[in-house]
Amino acid sequence: MSQPWPVALVQFQVSPEPQVNRQQVRHWLEQAMTQAGTPRTPKLLMLPEVWNSPYQAERFAEFAEPIPELGADLRDGPSESLKLVADFAVSHRVSVIAGSIPECSSDRRIFNTATVISPAGCLLAKHRKMHLFDVDIPGGIHFHESDSLTAGDQITVLSGVGDPLNSGAATPPNLGLQICYDIRFPELALLMQQQLSCDVIACPAGFSTTTGPLHWHLVMRARAVDTQCFVLACCSARPPQDSSDYPSYGHSLVVDPWGHILAEAGIGEEVVHAELDLDQITAARAAIPTSRQRRGDVYRLEPSA
């Protein structure tokens, strides 16, 4: 029987000021590690989508930072935002899913990019958002990420071999990364689980007060049930009602492989703590063995060449 893996999701309100956001991140990461009343100190922390910048397509380039290649020591890297998180990871010996930030590539394209940082401050994984949020909901929200962002084209699953996240589990989990709108495409999650053996899906997100009430809980629980994975969904906190800032939904949550919500935030700034019983992945897959019962003779899901 595995020891539960303690995790914490940091839900805070994003500011238009980069320095304020960095101060906020440092404060809330500290809160996550020292908060009274939690059973155990977290071994994995998580931040929301686009936490260093206003969620405005026309401003992503202004806040974009270079992100180095895998294995780089982010404490010496070109990204001020990730340097801050890497310094924190090293000082507390904790792994961090560093949400996402706008990334400026060497050819000047802008991506919405999520990263995973090791307790040694190194870049373990990097995922560029594959599905850009281009929607027009009458009476709701109009948003076109493709006005400024380029879509990624790589499926991202960090292997648990060698326990890079320092989970301490007998069989360390394989961690998949998605970003917000990616979670709406079940094919992606199924490929991550079926072909890359994903066990935990981390989804930094920025669902709005239009899409959140409709689909936030439904989609996160559905992907957990589809893949029989844990789903960690971290959203930013909701701004005041009279604010012109992007209307984030909040409600960061942790879902188990059976579709149960283990922990959930409200709409304000807070830290969500949960303990992942990784044995539940095996239990769910043994009890309802969908992976063995798919009809490969009738249909098949394959990545593009």
**Active site residues per annotation:** 49, 129, 180
Taking alpha carbons only, the member of 41, 13, 1, 97 closest to residue 273 is 41
Distance, CA of 75 to CA of 82 (rounded, Å): 8
- If phi > 0 it is left, if psi is from -120 to 50 it is alpha, else beta; for residue 236 that is beta
Whether residue 230 contacts residue 224, with contact meaning beta carbons closer than 8 Å, is answered with yes
Taking alpha carbons only, the member of 275, 267, 274 closest to residue 12 is 267
Q: How many CA atoms lie within 13 A of 127 on its CB side?
A: 30
Taking alpha carbons only, the member of 251, 277, 261, 196 closest to residue 225 is 261
CA distances (Å), 265 to each of 242, 249, 252, 253, in order?
A: 22, 10, 5, 6
Distance, CA of 296 to CA of 305 (rounded, Å): 19
CA torsion angle 46 198 190 287 (round to 10) = -110
CA torsion angle 169 161 281 86 (round to 10) = 70
